[in-house]
Amino acid sequence: MADNKTSAGERRGFKEFMRRQIVSLKRSPQRIPLFSLVTAFLIYSLNLSAIANTTARINGANMGQCEFAAMLLSILSFVVFLRSFPRRKKPDKVMLVLLSLMLAFIVFVDAVYLIRIESAVYRPDNPIIVDRNTIYISTAYNVVAAHIVFICVTAGLLALLPVYSKAIKKINTSIDVEGNESMAAIDIGEEQ
DSSP result, 101-120: HHHHHHHHHHHHHHHHHHHH
DSSP result, 81-104: HHHHS-TTS---HHHHHHHHHHHH
Dump pLDDT digits (tens) for 79-97: 999 999 888 788 889 999 9
At 72 the pLDDT is 95
- Which pLDDT band holds residue 14 (cuts at 50, 70, 90)? confident
**Is a pLDDT exceeding 60 seen at residue 9?**
no
Nearest to 62 by CA among 104, 119, 133, 13: 119
Cα of 107 vs its chain's centroid, Å: 15
**Is a pLDDT exceeding 70 seen at residue 186?**
no
DSSP result, 7-36: HHHHHHHHHHHHHHHHHHHHH-TTHHHHHH
Give the DSSP letter of residue 188: -
Any idea where the domains of the chain sit in the sequence?
A: 48-169
**Is a pLDDT exceeding 70 seen at residue 11?**
no
**Is a pLDDT exceeding 80 seen at residue 132?**
yes
- Which pLDDT band holds residue 165 (cuts at 50, 70, 90)? confident
At 183 the pLDDT is 56
C-alpha to C-alpha distance for 78 and 154, rounded to whole angstroms: 12
Q: Look at the chain and count its residues.
A: 192
Quote the pTM value: 0.78
**Is a pLDDT exceeding 60 seen at residue 66?**
yes
Cα of 28 vs its chain's centroid, Å: 14
